[in-house]
Structure 1
Amino acid sequence: MADQPRRPRTLGDARTEAEAAFKKVTAKVAAPPPKQNAVPGIKEQVTLRLDQDVLEFFQQGGPGWQDRINEALRKAAGK
Protein backbone atom coordinates (compact mmCIF):
# COMPACT_ATOMS: atom_id res chain seq x y z
CA MET A 1 0.00 0.00 0.00
CA ALA A 2 2.96 2.35 0.41
CA ASP A 3 3.43 2.43 -3.39
CA GLN A 4 0.00 3.95 -4.04
CA PRO A 5 -0.57 7.73 -3.87
CA ARG A 6 -2.84 9.01 -1.12
CA ARG A 7 -5.35 10.24 -3.63
CA PRO A 8 -5.54 9.42 -7.31
CA ARG A 9 -4.75 12.17 -9.82
CA THR A 10 -7.42 13.22 -12.19
CA LEU A 11 -6.76 14.62 -15.65
CA GLY A 12 -8.06 18.04 -14.69
CA ASP A 13 -6.13 18.55 -11.44
CA ALA A 14 -4.31 21.82 -10.81
CA ARG A 15 -0.80 20.37 -11.09
CA THR A 16 -1.44 18.83 -14.50
CA GLU A 17 -3.00 22.06 -15.74
CA ALA A 18 -0.07 24.10 -14.41
CA GLU A 19 2.48 21.81 -16.08
CA ALA A 20 0.64 22.03 -19.39
CA ALA A 21 0.52 25.83 -19.18
CA PHE A 22 4.22 26.00 -18.30
CA LYS A 23 5.19 23.79 -21.24
CA LYS A 24 3.11 25.91 -23.60
CA VAL A 25 4.78 29.13 -22.44
CA THR A 26 8.33 27.78 -22.35
CA ALA A 27 8.25 25.86 -25.65
CA LYS A 28 11.14 26.76 -27.92
CA VAL A 29 10.29 29.15 -30.71
CA ALA A 30 11.46 28.35 -34.23
CA ALA A 31 14.63 30.13 -35.33
CA PRO A 32 14.16 33.26 -37.43
CA PRO A 33 14.61 32.81 -41.19
CA PRO A 34 18.19 33.16 -42.44
CA LYS A 35 19.37 36.64 -43.39
CA GLN A 36 18.99 37.39 -47.08
CA ASN A 37 22.07 37.99 -49.21
CA ALA A 38 23.18 41.59 -49.44
CA VAL A 39 21.81 43.53 -52.39
CA PRO A 40 24.59 45.10 -54.50
CA GLY A 41 24.70 48.87 -54.23
CA ILE A 42 23.04 48.98 -50.81
CA LYS A 43 25.48 50.22 -48.19
CA GLU A 44 25.33 49.83 -44.43
CA GLN A 45 26.82 52.32 -42.02
CA VAL A 46 29.35 50.80 -39.61
CA THR A 47 32.04 51.99 -37.23
CA LEU A 48 35.50 50.82 -38.20
CA ARG A 49 38.82 51.52 -36.51
CA LEU A 50 41.75 51.87 -38.91
CA ASP A 51 45.40 52.60 -38.29
CA GLN A 52 46.15 56.28 -38.88
CA ASP A 53 48.65 55.60 -41.68
CA VAL A 54 46.11 53.46 -43.57
CA LEU A 55 43.45 56.14 -43.26
CA GLU A 56 45.87 58.87 -44.40
CA PHE A 57 46.83 56.77 -47.44
CA PHE A 58 43.24 56.59 -48.65
CA GLN A 59 42.48 60.22 -47.77
CA GLN A 60 45.48 61.51 -49.79
CA GLY A 61 43.48 61.01 -52.98
CA GLY A 62 40.86 63.50 -51.82
CA PRO A 63 37.11 62.98 -51.91
CA GLY A 64 35.95 59.41 -52.49
CA TRP A 65 38.36 57.90 -49.98
CA GLN A 66 35.58 55.81 -48.42
CA ASP A 67 34.77 54.32 -51.83
CA ARG A 68 38.46 53.50 -52.31
CA ILE A 69 38.57 51.73 -48.96
CA ASN A 70 35.41 49.82 -49.91
CA GLU A 71 36.97 48.75 -53.23
CA ALA A 72 40.16 47.60 -51.50
CA LEU A 73 38.11 45.56 -49.01
CA ARG A 74 36.09 43.99 -51.86
CA LYS A 75 39.32 42.94 -53.61
CA ALA A 76 40.68 41.51 -50.35
CA ALA A 77 37.44 39.58 -49.86
CA GLY A 78 37.59 38.22 -53.40
CA LYS A 79 34.41 39.98 -54.48
Structure 2
Amino acid sequence: MNDLIEELKKTMKREISGPSWVVDELFKPLTEAKSIDEWHEDYGDALWWTFPIQESPYCGSPLDEDWPGYHTHWTPIVIPAAPAPKEGE
Protein backbone atom coordinates (compact mmCIF):
# COMPACT_ATOMS: atom_id res chain seq x y z
CA MET A 1 0.00 0.00 0.00
CA ASN A 2 2.76 2.47 0.88
CA ASP A 3 4.39 1.86 -2.52
CA LEU A 4 1.11 2.69 -4.25
CA ILE A 5 0.73 5.86 -2.20
CA GLU A 6 4.29 6.92 -3.04
CA GLU A 7 3.67 6.34 -6.76
CA LEU A 8 0.46 8.34 -6.59
CA LYS A 9 2.26 11.17 -4.81
CA LYS A 10 5.00 11.24 -7.47
CA THR A 11 2.40 11.40 -10.23
CA MET A 12 0.49 14.18 -8.51
CA LYS A 13 3.68 16.19 -7.93
CA ARG A 14 4.49 16.01 -11.64
CA GLU A 15 1.01 17.16 -12.63
CA ILE A 16 0.29 20.02 -10.22
CA SER A 17 1.24 23.60 -10.97
CA GLY A 18 1.74 24.51 -7.30
CA PRO A 19 4.43 23.51 -4.79
CA SER A 20 5.04 19.78 -4.36
CA TRP A 21 4.87 19.94 -0.54
CA VAL A 22 1.09 20.37 -0.89
CA VAL A 23 0.84 16.77 -2.08
CA ASP A 24 2.76 15.53 0.96
CA GLU A 25 0.43 17.47 3.25
CA LEU A 26 -2.64 15.92 1.61
CA PHE A 27 -1.42 12.41 2.39
CA LYS A 28 -0.22 13.01 5.97
CA PRO A 29 -3.51 12.09 7.62
CA LEU A 30 -3.31 8.66 5.97
CA THR A 31 0.35 7.87 6.41
CA GLU A 32 1.55 9.46 9.67
CA ALA A 33 0.87 7.58 12.87
CA LYS A 34 -0.56 9.73 15.63
CA SER A 35 0.16 9.32 19.35
CA ILE A 36 -2.45 7.65 21.53
CA ASP A 37 -2.74 11.04 23.27
CA GLU A 38 -4.20 12.47 20.05
CA TRP A 39 -6.99 9.88 19.85
CA HIS A 40 -10.51 10.69 21.05
CA GLU A 41 -13.55 8.45 21.08
CA ASP A 42 -15.13 10.67 18.41
CA TYR A 43 -12.57 9.24 15.96
CA GLY A 44 -14.02 5.76 16.52
CA ASP A 45 -12.14 2.63 15.58
CA ALA A 46 -8.63 3.00 14.22
CA LEU A 47 -5.61 0.88 13.36
CA TRP A 48 -3.27 0.71 16.39
CA TRP A 49 0.48 0.22 16.14
CA THR A 50 3.63 -0.21 18.20
CA PHE A 51 7.03 0.81 16.89
CA PRO A 52 9.04 -0.72 15.46
CA ILE A 53 6.24 -2.48 13.60
CA GLN A 54 6.53 -6.21 14.21
CA GLU A 55 2.91 -7.31 13.98
CA SER A 56 -0.34 -6.47 12.25
CA PRO A 57 -2.22 -3.53 13.74
CA TYR A 58 -5.00 -3.91 16.28
CA CYS A 59 -8.30 -2.70 14.83
CA GLY A 60 -10.61 -1.05 17.34
CA SER A 61 -10.33 1.48 20.13
CA PRO A 62 -8.88 1.77 23.63
CA LEU A 63 -12.47 1.54 24.88
CA ASP A 64 -12.82 -2.07 23.63
CA GLU A 65 -13.04 -4.84 26.22
CA ASP A 66 -10.25 -6.75 24.48
CA TRP A 67 -7.93 -3.69 24.09
CA PRO A 68 -4.39 -5.11 24.43
CA GLY A 69 -3.14 -1.96 26.16
CA TYR A 70 0.34 -1.77 24.65
CA HIS A 71 -0.28 0.07 21.36
CA THR A 72 1.09 3.60 21.30
CA HIS A 73 0.09 5.06 17.91
CA TRP A 74 -2.87 5.00 15.54
CA THR A 75 -3.84 5.69 11.96
CA PRO A 76 -7.37 6.20 10.65
CA ILE A 77 -9.22 3.44 8.89
CA VAL A 78 -9.78 4.53 5.31
CA ILE A 79 -13.15 3.38 4.07
CA PRO A 80 -12.97 2.79 0.33
CA ALA A 81 -15.55 3.97 -2.12
CA ALA A 82 -17.68 1.30 -3.71
CA PRO A 83 -16.15 -0.05 -6.91
CA ALA A 84 -17.48 1.32 -10.15
CA PRO A 85 -20.01 -1.00 -11.77
CA LYS A 86 -18.62 -3.14 -14.53
CA GLU A 87 -19.76 -2.36 -18.00
CA GLY A 88 -23.04 -4.13 -18.71
CA GLU A 89 -24.19 -4.38 -15.08
TM range (shorter): under 0.3
TM-score of the pair, normalised by structure 2: 0.22
> Rg larger in 1 or in 2?
1
* Relative contact order, higher structure (CA 8 A, sep 6+): 2
TM-score of the pair, normalised by structure 1: 0.23
Q: Compare the two structures and name the one with the higher strand fraction.
A: 2
